[in-house]
Homo-oligomer: A and B are copies of this chain.
Amino acid sequence: MKVIDRHEAALDRILELVVLLNHDMTQSLARDGLTVSRAHLLWELRHRGPMTQRDVAEALKVSARTITGLVDGLVATGFVTREPHPTDRRATLVTFTEHAATTVAAMERDQQKFAHLLFAGMPDEQFDCFVAGLGDVLTRLRDQGLSYEIREDDQ
């Protein structure tokens, strides 16, 4: 029981972290004319190159319909363009613009500074251990899919 209580306290902290980070990111991204979702889309595009909307939907874990809306917004503000798919005329390729590249580069610089701010001065040993624990937690979360879904096999 003792153990579970400690685990629960840790989860509480993680949840607080989630809330705090979400709030801060929303504020910060607004300065670039972006929202968390749109930035997430840009981020994905940046790392994978042009994608069909379908692929984006899967990457962001949202419905295809939602992507239509997000891309609409990003096209309107000039962050991405819709290009015809070379071989499949049903699909469109969402592609990065120069504008987006500039903005994402700035975001990345911010992220670096922010990361440095969070971890600067933390003893190497503790940092390594923290990252290891984080990786562990992340792995379990991914492995189990919707791991928060416990109530089914509950009572």
Name A residues whose Cβ lies closer than 8 Å to a Cβ of B.
3-4, 6-11, 13-25, 27-28, 31, 40, 61, 106, 109-120, 122, 125-127, 129-138, 140-142, 144, 146-151, 154
Alpha-carbon separation in the docked complex, A127 to B4 (Å): 12
CB of B25 within 8 A of CB of A148, answer yes
Distance in Å: Cβ of A148 to nearest Cβ of chain B: 4
Assuming the contacts A21-B141, A28-B149, A106-B151, asked whether A126 and B133 have C-beta atoms less than 8 A apart, the reply is yes
Distance in Å: Cβ of A17 to nearest Cβ of chain B: 6
3 interchain residue pairs of minimum CB distance: A130-B133, A129-B129, A24-B148
Can you report 17 A-B residue pairs in the complex whose CB atoms are below 8 A from each other?
A7-B119, A7-B120, A8-B115, A15-B21, A17-B18, A18-B21, A24-B149, A25-B148, A109-B154, A113-B150, A113-B154, A118-B141, A125-B129, A126-B129, A126-B136, A129-B129, A129-B133
| Chain B residues whose C-beta falls within 8 Å of the C-beta of A15 in the assembled complex | 21
Closest to A137 in B: B118
Alpha-carbon separation in the docked complex, A151 to B30 (Å): 12
CB of A18 within 8 A of CB of B22, answer yes
| Chain B residues whose C-beta falls within 8 Å of the C-beta of A125 in the assembled complex | 129
Distance in Å: Cβ of A66 to nearest Cβ of chain B: 13
CB of B134 within 8 A of CB of A8, answer no
Distance in Å: Cβ of A110 to nearest Cβ of chain B: 5
| Chain B residues whose C-beta falls within 8 Å of the C-beta of A117 in the assembled complex | 140, 144, 147, 150
